[in-house]
Structure 1
Amino acid sequence: MDPRSPGLLPPLSSPECWAEDDQTTLVCRGVWEITHDVKTFLFGAPDGRVFNFEAGQFITLQLEIDGQPINRCYTVSSPPTRPHLISITVKRVLGGPVSNWLHDNLVAGTEVTVLAPLGQFTLASPMADKYLFLSAGSGITPVMSMTRTLTDLGSAADIIFIHNARTPADIIYRRELEAIAAVMPNIKVVHICEGDYPSERWMGLRGRLSAAALEAIVPDLNERVTYTCGPPAYMAAVRRIVTALGYDMANYHEESFDFDSLPAGEQQAREIEVPQDGGEAEAEQATFNIEFVRSRKTVTCGAKQFVLDAALTAGLRPPSSCSQGMCGTCKTVMLDGSVDMQHNGGIRPKEVAAGKILICCSTPLSDLKIDA
């Protein structure tokens, strides 16, 4: 039977999700238990649309928890080579409002509003001959999407995948990675654990990634393109190690956005230092009026102040998450005026052409009217 026939999968000619609008409603199709505190949530489009994204990108979930709107970004863990479902893999974080809500409430059939995939931590084209994937904790998700993609495509690229975890029970995708390595001779998987789990003594490499370990596992380091993702301290340590080993950082890529760095509801206005001398200082101290049309409130914003920060200082709470111009959560329409927007991939050229801006990374060049 043709797997694309009615009743199984929609035809591959199905329209794409987010092709017309960067926000859509998806339906949870299933929940998988990955480890004792990690779950994968699979989503599909209710009308059979398929998903088009790049391995390594993230999506933004728009949720309402305890009556409060909360947005949270999660890296897509599924590969774009499997376009009928899209998944995120979430670790339960102590005190984390979103991760705990997802673990406790999101079940098959639940509908969730999701923003289109974004992010620049993706496999560069053309494909490399050799890759090194380095990850720790839940930072494994983007490089897992990359690994699944390369595996599905039958890539002959030589891949070394090194993952750090606290204990063997905390290794995300452990069995899947072992299975991939068992059938793909070009993929080598190495796990490093800091210690044992009560029910399992770890017999592999122990401790944390070091220069000595990296040299032993990857003797041809300088021939590889490296992708790194994990907690900020882990990525900083990796940068120090590869730099000390003389690695060409032009071939080094890391996920520059820590998705847990700004817990929902705790964003604060950023202070910007303004020079106090000369005519340039006077220009930088100029102020503009920002009218939030739907909120019916006008606030004052400095010439070197981000529009989001001016709104937060004035008591407004527009949707926002990363404050780095990456996630697209604060995207809104600018009805009038002009801004200097220095984003990090959180908005597309067609959206800019349509008058949309990211208020977290935009400073005013004139009085503004914002549709918010």
Structure 2
Amino acid sequence: MSEAAGGGNSGSASIELADGLWDSEADDTLVCQAVRDETHDVKTFVLKPAAPGRFRFKPGQFMTYAFEIDGETIYRCYTISSAPTRPDRISFTVKRVPGGPVSNWLHDSFKPGMRIRAVGPMGDFTCADLPASKYLFLSGGSGITPLMSMARTFHDLGQREDIVFIHNARSPADIIFREELEGMARVDDAFRFVPIVQNVSPLAPSSGLRGFLTRGILDVVVPDFREREVFVCGPAPYLAAVKAILAEAGYEMARYHDESFNFETLTASEKAVATEAELQLETEAGPTVRTYTVEFTKTRRSVEVPETMTVLEAAKRAGMRLPSSCSKGMCGTCKSKKVSGTVAMTHQGGIRQREIDAGMVLLCCSKPNSDLVIER
């Protein structure tokens, strides 16, 4: 009794809670505290500040991380999967992508005690700014993470919002956070979790819904979906399918909110961005528009870029595959070193002033004012 009260067990771990807020401008270093298996190919990474501090963010926001892999700095954005109601730690959840340099490094090499740099939080995909009496959360695959942050937040606050959470996965074994979501539904009758799986097997049976999200499923599972604020996250085809279902059903699309971050698959998404840029920019360059030469040192490529076009858009039109995600200057994925030249850059928080002072630029929102040399 006296030993427990006095803390006589010197070998036990202590619980340290910070008082101040973590500020990435002052110290951008985060330390891996734990790694947790969610499914056979999904892990959650729990982080704490190098110096004591608490995180402040809105559920659904993301962070930009700088990973040092094989002597190269690679930037990636990952949604925060933890809830701001538990501010002493922050977590992000990553699915292993075949051939993905960052996801594979995280799964194979990132361990407790290791450090990374981060900036954020960022993003406006959040229920915090859109209060409602009823919500419908729709997610596909690893798109579950921002909605999980929202669900955890409501659950911790105990406000009993009416939430229906429908998640699509390949198989029962691929349902991320399944046990936690089912537990939340058991103790809160205002929260319903409905998984839909595409495939089942003798080793992975399912008594729930099978196939894909359809208008029929919405009508049966959540017949009042037209009355709900809808948040959707997942791959681009999933978002397109959901929007089509809701629009056809007469849903008021002003209450529809989606997010699609797919940072490591540079195939379909890259093609889609390049095609869109090509259509938008087809008539941009005229006889009075100046064109500059942009040289990329690592790939030894040279691209002609009109002054009306961003460096990223021009590079993709030329067939280059450069890391990119948001294309809005928010995430920092396309951050690159400018060796020489000048640009006009209009960003939305994806780069800090000290990085700009050091010659870094975001290619997605930088238009050339002169010939450029970029370290890419």
Question: Does 1:283 find its partner at 2:301?
Answer: no
What SS does the corresponding residue of 1:89 show, helix, strand or coil? strand
- Structure 2 CA distance for aligned equivalents of residues 169 and 149 of structure 1: 25
Question: Does 1:86 find its partner at 2:93?
Answer: no
1:339 maps to 344
Matching of residues 1-372 of structure 1 within 5 Å:
7-11=14-18, 13-20=19-26, 24-262=28-266, 272=278, 273-275=281-283, 281-284=286-289, 286-288=290-292, 301-308=305-312, 320-322=323-325, 324-325=327-328, 326-331=330-335, 339=344, 341=346, 345-347=348-350, 358-364=362-368, 366-367=369-370
- Structure 1 CA distance for aligned equivalents of residues 45 and 222 of structure 2: 33
Long gaps (5+) in structure 2: 6-12, 297-301
Long gaps (5+) in structure 1: 293-297
- Matched residue type, 2:251: Y
- Structure 1 CA distance for aligned equivalents of residues 283 and 317 of structure 2: 21
Equivalent pair of 2:226/2:252 in contact (CA under 8 Å)? yes
Coordinate RMSD, CA, aligned:
3.7
- Structure 2 CA distance for aligned equivalents of residues 131 and 146 of structure 1: 11
- Structure 2 CA distance for aligned equivalents of residues 338 and 67 of structure 1: 27
- Matched residue type, 1:339: A
Equivalent pair of 1:267/1:321 in contact (CA under 8 Å)? no
Q: Deviations for 1:108-146, whole angstroms, at most 9, x for unmatched residues?
A: 111122232222211242511110000111110010001
What SS does the corresponding residue of 1:283 show, helix, strand or coil? coil
Q: TM-score, normalised to structure 1's length? A: 0.81
What SS does the corresponding residue of 1:116 show, helix, strand or coil? strand
Please report how far the alpha carbon of residue 339 of structure 1 lies from its aligned counterpart in structure 2 after TM superposition.
2.4
Greater helix proportion: 2
- Matched residue type, 1:17: D
Kindly tell me the number of residue pairs found equivalent between the two proteins.
352
Equivalent pair of 2:233/2:259 in contact (CA under 8 Å)? yes
1:295 maps to none
Equivalent pair of 1:134/1:162 in contact (CA under 8 Å)? yes
Q: TM-score, normalised to structure 2's length? A: 0.80
